[in-house]
Each structure stands twice: as C-alpha cells, then as structure tokens.
Amino acid sequence: MTIAQVPVLITWDIDPNTRFDLAQKRQALQTAVELCRELEIAATFFFVAQEAASYPEEIAEIRRAGHEIGCHGLTHGKEEEYDRVPKEMQRSYIERATRLLEKQTGTSITAFRGPRVKVSHVTLKLLAEYGYLADSSVCSQRLDLLSSNLINSGWLVAPRSPYHPHRDSAFKRGDLDILEVPVSALMLPFISTSLYILKLPVMKVLFRLLYAEARRMGKPIVYLAHPEEFGPQSWPSFKLSDLSFKNLRTQGFMLRKHLNEANPESRLMLNRALFSYIAAFPGIRFMTMREYVLQSSRPTATSD
C-alpha cells in the first residue's frame, strides 16, 4: 500500500535579541543549521531584515544547504504590529524588508511570517502585490493565554489547511494570490515553547494527532522554533509594567518565558528527539515553505 506523503515544515524565526552578543547569536543559529544538517531536514529560516546583515556566513551556508530564507519583518520592534498598523506603514516596512533581504541573500524572498505571528488582510494583500508565495502567521485553532497574541479570535475560526485568504479577512478563505500556511495547533500549538514546558511525551501525542489529520486531509504539519533558544537563557525579573495593556497586547504574558526549560543543551536534545521521532513516521517529507507551495500548486494527474 502506498503511504500518502505528509509534508513537515520546520520553521525558524531569527529575532533580534539584546540579551545575547553577536557571537552568541551566530553560534545559536549555527546550532540550528547543524541540527537540520544532522537529521537531513530542509527548513525555512525567517530573518528580520535589519538583522540579516549580521549573518553573512550563516546565510551563505543556509542557502548552500538548500534551505529557504524568508522574511520576518523589518525590525521586529513593538511598532511592527501587522494586525493593526496603517497600510502605508505596512507597505513601507514590507518593501524595505524585502529589498534588504534580497540584497543580502542574492535570491527572491517569497515566504513571510509577521513578528509575533501577527498579520491582517492588509498585510496579505501587500505581500501578494510584492510577489510573496506564502505567509505563515496564522495559528489555526490555537487557544493560548500565554502567547503574544493572547486569545486571537481570528485564529479560532481560521481554516486548518493551507488556504488563499479573503481580501477582507486574513482568517477566511478567498482569492488572494498568496497561500496562508498555518502553524500547526490543536488548541495546544506545535511550537518549541510547548516542547520546553510540556516536554517530549506530550509533544509526541500532539504530533500523532496532527499526523493522523495530515494523512486524512492532505495538509502539512508546521513547527515553529527560534535558534536563540540554543543560546544562554536569562530573563529579567517580573515588573508591574509587564501587565500594562500595551505590553500585554504586544508581548502577551511574559510569564511563559519563566516556565520554559532553561538549559540550552536540554532544549537542543528535546528538538533533536522530536525531529527524529517525526522522521520515523511513514510518508514524512521535510520541505521548505516554497517547496510546499510549488508542490501544492501543481495540477494533480488524473486517469481516463
């Protein structure tokens, strides 16, 4: 019996991090790249455009290894909130970020993820205009009080399978010429934070459920992590200002940071164990965002 292919998209967000020096950030990114090489994983690395110039050797290595480089916004600053900022500001940021990344990488940039996984229909229309093939900022059916989105009502109603968004809603099917590829979730998000807090046995159960769904529906499984998680971990002490409306709206409950596995070696081991577990399932194929979109857009052969 032929096993249906199950695409698995491992995605890495390379965020600015003032707690690390450049050498530490480069080492953490190199660790993520090496993990993908070790397990023969094709992955997508979403770079913040203004940070990309700090990683010339790593970007060259990522490209040589056949991974994809995507855009994770221009600055990742608190002002870059794609679910609420005006259209012309979004246009300026997307245009500048795309131009910077294409200059740095020498290739076209066709995959996007908004900082703090925030997006709007305005963003998606602009991304389509600038030639992007895919966005991966929606986390369908994720219910998560600790995330930077708090409870996102749009996520709760968004399609679970990849879809072309509606012109008036990022969370409805429509006809925009870009594919929304949701980060996987079953209320619990399939992301590294879940792995570090709930540990491997829970994530194995979550993966098995997502795998069964992917086999049934022909959809991909999308995992989100950050290379910085393989660097030294230290978090500022709690401040009352963390509970201000502005900070909660932008960053969510920062308490989640203190619940995480603190040891970077343990984080690496957890990801290695999870990826190895995933790879053992029949039909699994690790691929980049671009590969998935191009494959899914090919016409299906039919028999007479």
| Highest mean pLDDT, choosing among 74-78, 237-241, 249-253, 256-260 | 74-78
Average pLDDT of span 277-293 = 98
pLDDT at 253: 47
Q: Measured between alpha carbons, how far is residue 82 from residues 120, 155, 225, 262 in Å? A: 6, 15, 20, 30
Looking up tokens 């695409």 gives 7
Topology of domain 6-296 in CATH is: TIM Barrel (3.20.20)
Ramachandran quadrant class, 170 (left: phi over 0; alpha: psi -120 to 50; beta: rest): alpha
Predicted TM-score (pTM) of the model is 0.90
Token duo for residue 215: 């086999």
Question: Hey, which bits of the chain come out as E strands?
Answer: 6-14, 43-47, 68-71, 111-112, 134-135, 165-166, 169-173, 179-180, 185-186, 188-189, 221-225, 284-286
Cβ-based burial of 258 (10 A; exposed 0-12, middle 13-18, buried ≥19): exposed
**Domain map (residue ranges) of the chain:** 6-296
Spatial CA neighbour of 223 closest among 246, 192, 252: 192
Give the span between the Cα atoms of 229 and 267, in whole angstroms. Answer: 7
Average pLDDT of span 70-95 = 97
Confidence of residue 301 (pLDDT cuts 50, 70, 90): very low
Tell me phi and psi for residue 95, to 5 degrees: -65, -45
Eight-state DSSP code of residue 86:
-
Spatial CA neighbour of 42 closest among 13, 14, 71, 10: 10
